[in-house]
Chain A
Amino acid sequence: MSALPSRPTIADLSRALRNREVSSRELATAALKRIATAQDALNSFITVVPELALAAADRADAGLARGGGGPLTGIPFAHKDIFCTAGMRTTCGSRMLADFVSPYDATVVERLAAAGIVTVGKTNMDEFAMGSSNETSWFGPVRNPWDRDRSPGGSSGGSAAAVAAGLVPAATGTDTGGSIRQPAALVGITGFKPTYGRVSRYGMVAFASSLDQAGVLTLSVEDAALLTASMAGFDPRDSTSAEQPVPDYVAGLDTAIRGKRIGVPREFFDAGLEPASATAIRDALGVFERLGATLVDISLPSLVLSVPAYYIVAPAECSSNLSRFDGVRFGYRHAGATTLEELYKKSRGEGFGAEVKRRILTGTYVLSAGYYDAYYLKAQQVRRLIADDFRRCFAEVDVIAGPTSPTPAFRLGEKVDDPVQMYLNDIYTIPVNLAGLPGMSVPCGMSGGLPVGLQLIGPHFGEATLFNFGHVFQRETDWHTRTPPA
């Protein structure tokens, strides 16, 4: 194992496994040990499954010994605790599901397991993926490995912190308004959200069904391409799964970007963007220019409307989705209710945390009789304006680039009392979900000792283009190899 870097990628580990330099059991054992050691400091895991992990590792080793297996076989891995996993609990960061064990695997879990990946546990997250700081988790906040007084972002904060700290080389995440890209940016790793419908939502606990999409948090763009290749594809069990063939994401990673056009939205560089982050983003754009790409000044005039539109659409869908938690069939149940209504109200009142309740109430309000047109319909019209902005731009450019987050990691507790300030943190990521586009964050610099993320946005099903741009950027820079202090 001495030949491996201190924080090896999936590609590194895959080579070492194939060359018999290390076994999957050794990798799983080491990962479990790192997780146990880091848990008090980071709180990045909710559940760890040593026995299942070692059994899966032994199966992977047996397959590799027979000369079988693929690039993911035997790699230690973690799932965000929003993906249903048969045989291990799925809490979604909520008291409501603290003891829930799914009777089935999510499609993402099933596909990665079939590819030989070794799941060591489930990562911490904002409750029901509703949060941008990981502070809404019933299991306590996750800490940022770069500064433990700061948030790793959210909602996939546990996956982000675990990968940045080198506990596992990669983990799944979900992204409804930035929940993969923002935490990836705040801990200095790669985060990838595919096009809406590209990866199955089956078995992914629903938050806002027209926005939710599964993706990955990794140490390199190459790893993100490898994982997405296994996760993507049509699934008849998801009614909005895209019936589109999955191209070879790895084959085009090194394609020259000379002559390609990068749209730079001027609205992404407004007064809200922290100056040192803006400098890092400008420098990153310079790297693409040196590689022969052209920067094109573009405008997304409806950008400013995306956060309010999102905070109508997402809570509306959330209030509908979360009505299934009734204390009867599964999840938390209030003991001692004497009427059915009391059972519903108390189970939900005690099972959900403050932010989830706020979103259910917001959603119930905007969908209530007499208000539907003024809020929900209006927000859907604004959503169209935002999507049209992007459509216009993609007629002229290959990708759009800008910041992922307006600031580097903020302090835990800093925004917790002001929901609107917390919501505005996702101004650059939310429009991408509203339009259903693929988006990626790659590390591109530092601000005050904290990582800064560059966001790359592609047209619908433009995954391969994003992997190409991200990979050539990581060939030219070393920001993605910067490791948090021990």
Chain B
Amino acid sequence: MYDSGPTKLSAASRFHESLRAKNAVKLTRQNVEQIAHLARLEIGSGEIDGVVEKLGRIVEFVDQLQAVETSGVVPMAHPVDMSQRLRADEVSESDRRDLYQQNSQSVADGLYLVPRVIE
């Protein structure tokens, strides 16, 4: 079950408050570690300092957009004006599970294997 309890929410909000307190420009090592956790991405201890420094420069660079006046501008999500195509809800593909699973390093009985999740 999805856990959205008060502890997690306040942790997230503390994270964002800490960014705001520094004008959302200077990312700390702690911030980057939290972002990396959200992205399920391990950053090795040898690379973290470089990542903090370079990510800080990138965020500082994109932050210049904050000064642009955009009130009333309709956000552009898609480069060409087109509406989303729909199709009939019909089965159009055959079952190719065995072929697809050839690219996994750990399968058994048609299932993907991962480390134990439930104790």
Real complex partners, A and B? yes
A binding-site residues for B, Cβ under 8 Å: 100-101, 103, 195-197, 210-211, 236, 239-240, 242-243, 305, 307-309, 311-312, 319, 323, 326, 328-331, 333, 337-346, 348-350, 352, 354, 357-358, 360-362, 364-366, 368-371, 374-375, 377-385, 387, 418-420, 423, 433-436, 460
Within 8 Å of chain A (Cβ to Cβ): is B22?
A: no
- Please state if B65 and A312 are interface contacts (CB–CB under 8 Å): yes
Within 8 Å of chain A (Cβ to Cβ): is B76?
A: yes
Residues of B within 8 A of A339 (CB): 115
User: Chain A interface secondary structure, helix, strand, loop or mixed?
Assistant: helix
Residues of A within 8 A of B102 (CB): 101, 103
- Please state if B62 and A101 are interface contacts (CB–CB under 8 Å): no
- Please state if B65 and A420 are interface contacts (CB–CB under 8 Å): no
Within 8 Å of chain A (Cβ to Cβ): is B94?
A: no
Question: Which one, A236, A364, A420, A460, contacts B80 given CB within 8 A?
Answer: A460
- Please state if B32 and A103 are interface contacts (CB–CB under 8 Å): no
- Please state if B79 and A311 are interface contacts (CB–CB under 8 Å): no
Not counting A338-B115, A370-B13, A384-B73, a sample of 9 additional A-B residue pairs whose C-beta atoms are within 8 angstroms of each other reads A240-B82, A328-B104, A330-B103, A343-B115, A348-B42, A357-B51, A374-B24, A375-B65, A460-B80
- Please state if A361 and B39 are interface contacts (CB–CB under 8 Å): yes
Nearest 5 CB-CB pairings of A with B: A436-B79, A349-B42, A380-B75, A330-B103, A381-B70
**Chain B residue nearest in CB terms to A346:** B42
- Please state if B35 and A210 are interface contacts (CB–CB under 8 Å): no
**Chain B residue nearest in CB terms to A333:** B105
Residues of A within 8 A of B75 (CB): 377, 380-381, 383-384
Given contacts A333-B105, A362-B58, contact A345 B40 (CB under 8 A): yes
Within 8 Å of chain A (Cβ to Cβ): is B1?
A: no
Give the residues from 50 to 86 in chain B that come closer than 8 angstroms, CB to CB, to chain A: 50-51, 54-55, 57-59, 61-66, 68, 70, 73-80, 82, 84-85
**Chain A residue nearest in CB terms to B70:** A381
Q: Count of B residues near A, CB < 8 Å?
A: 56
- Please state if A435 and B58 are interface contacts (CB–CB under 8 Å): no
**Chain B residue nearest in CB terms to A328:** B112
Given contacts A101-B103, A349-B43, contact A343 B85 (CB under 8 A): no
Per the bound structure, the CA–CA distance linking A369 and B11 in Å amounts to: 12
Residues of A within 8 A of B13 (CB): 370
- Please state if B61 and A420 are interface contacts (CB–CB under 8 Å): yes
- Please state if A380 and B41 are interface contacts (CB–CB under 8 Å): no
**Chain A residue nearest in CB terms to B47:** A354
Residues of B within 8 A of A418 (CB): 57
Question: Which one, A197, A337, A384, contacts B74 given CB within 8 A?
Answer: A384
- Please state if A365 and B35 are interface contacts (CB–CB under 8 Å): yes
Per the bound structure, the CA–CA distance linking A352 and B36 in Å amounts to: 13
- Please state if A385 and B104 are interface contacts (CB–CB under 8 Å): no
- Please state if A311 and B40 are interface contacts (CB–CB under 8 Å): no
- Closest Cβ of chain A to B22, distance in Å, is 14
- Please state if B96 and A364 are interface contacts (CB–CB under 8 Å): no
- Please state if B62 and A311 are interface contacts (CB–CB under 8 Å): yes
